[in-house]
């Protein structure tokens, strides 16, 4: 997906780098992209970071453009029925593009778009599908060394890992009932061979090179200004206080607004799944 560098017509545009969206499917004879499939849309309730008691539980969230949620088929559980890719579409809720596919029986679903998938291609979820981008197979049927994404952790639950733009995991080995999968973080993890994964890496790999260029772009996305702890008072944040711009200066190190250790402190405490991690992320 190519990127676009804008002409510096304003100070913020000088630093703006955005997507061209050239890979999206257009209406015939028009530059306008196709409309999303209405049957696969759901409204999103906007909370502004507040819970059911009206208290802010997610700071610096609110505003932003109105969105509809696209129902994505992470399970890929329509086995041995080929599906034709009708269109590549934009999804405001994720970094990658999504593809509208139509199965041979007429049902339509959205899937994540892997690198190289185009309108008119055919995808298949099966135990004996070809090793081609977009096809979904159990890990048992995928050759070692293959790049995969949308990986299940529990058979039948649907893909939970490796779904962001440009990411891919690699199948490293198979032993007894587990497969060793190297994740984008560098961690190697055991996953059941009966879990499904999709072949290929997730598309829109250039997403990481986009630059907002101005604060307003964050506001469009529902992200409000983030206030630094050192700019607050001591009653509002452990980093606050001091004369002018003062460093953190705590003996216990940097902390959250509630005094918990921050910036580098390990927060993973899940002994039940420690046994599935073969190698920690580097």
Mean of all residue pLDDT scores within the chain: 95
Tokens of 231: 């700019």
Mean pLDDT in residue range 65-79 = 97
pLDDT single digits (tens) 24-65: 999 999 999 999 999 999 999 999 999 999 999 999 999 999
Q: How many CA atoms lie within 13 A of 243 on its CB side?
A: 0
CA distance 110 to 42: 13
Q: For the chain, what's the residue count?
A: 282
Query: C-alpha distances in angstroms, 32 versus 81, 109, 191?
Result: 31, 22, 42
Torsions phi, psi for 224 (to 5 deg): -90, 165
- Whether the Cβ atoms of residue 151 and residue 171 lie closer than 8 Å to each other: no
Tokens of 108: 């339509």
DSSP letter assigned to residue 14 = G
Please report, rounded to a whole number, the percentage of residues in the chain having pLDDT higher than 90: 94
Measured on CA atoms in the order 79, 112, 70, 104, is the torsion positive or negative? negative
Q: What pLDDT was estimated at residue 111?
A: 98
- Whether the Cβ atoms of residue 173 and residue 180 lie closer than 8 Å to each other: yes
**pTM of the model as a whole:** 0.92
Domain residue limits, the chain: 19-209
Is 276 exposed, middle or buried, given 0-12, 13-18 or 19+ CB atoms closer than 10 A?
middle
Q: Is 103 helix (H, G, I), strand (E, B) or coil?
A: strand
Fold of 19-209: OB fold (Dihydrolipoamide Acetyltransferase, E2P) (2.40.50)
- Whether the Cβ atoms of residue 123 and residue 109 lie closer than 8 Å to each other: no
Q: What pLDDT was estimated at residue 268?
A: 87
Torsions phi, psi for 6 (to 5 deg): -80, 150
Q: What pLDDT was estimated at residue 1?
A: 64
Query: C-alpha distances in angstroms, 18 versus 13, 251, 263?
Result: 10, 43, 30
pLDDT single digits (tens) 187-239: 999 999 999 999 999 999 999 999 999 999 999 999 999 999 999 999 999 99
pLDDT single digits (tens) 255-277: 999 999 998 888 889 999 999 99
Q: Is the pLDDT of residue 122 over 80?
A: yes
């Amino acid at each position: 997906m190519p990127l676009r560098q804008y002409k510096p017509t304003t100070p913020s545009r000088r630093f703006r780098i955005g997507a061209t969206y050239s890979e999206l499917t257009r209406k015939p004879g028009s530059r306008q992209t196709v409309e999303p499939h209405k049957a696969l849309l759901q409204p999103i309730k906007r909370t502004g970071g507040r819970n059911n008691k009206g208290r802010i539980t997610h700071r610096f969230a609110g505003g932003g453009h109105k969105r509809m949620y696209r129902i994505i088929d992470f399970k890929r559980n329509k086995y041995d029925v080929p599906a034709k890719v009708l269109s590549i579409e934009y999804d405001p809720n994720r970094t990658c593009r999504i593809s509208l596919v139509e199965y041979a029986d007429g049902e339509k679903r959205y899937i994540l778009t892997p690198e190289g998938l185009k309108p008119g291609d055919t995808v298949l979820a099966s135990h004996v599908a070809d090793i081609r981008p977009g096809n979904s197979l159990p890990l048992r049927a995928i050759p070692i060394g293959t790049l995969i994404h949308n990986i299940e952790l529990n058979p039948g639950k649907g893909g939970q890992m490796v779904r962001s733009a440009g990411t891919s995991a690699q199948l490293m080995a198979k032993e007894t009932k587990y497969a060793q999968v190297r994740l984008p973080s560098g961690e190697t993890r055991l996953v059941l061979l009966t879990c499904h994964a999709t072949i290929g890496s997730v598309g829109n790999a250039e997403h990481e090179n986009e630059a907002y260029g101005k604060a307003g772009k964050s506001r469009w996305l529902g992200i409000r200004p983030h206030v630094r702890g050192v700019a607050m008072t001591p009653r509002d944040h452990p980093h606050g206080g001091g004369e002018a711009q003062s460093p953190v200066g705590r003996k216990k190190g940097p902390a959250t607004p509630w005094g918990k250790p921050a910036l580098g402190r390990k927060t993973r405490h899940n002994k039940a799944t420690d046994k599935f991690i073969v190698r920690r992320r580097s």
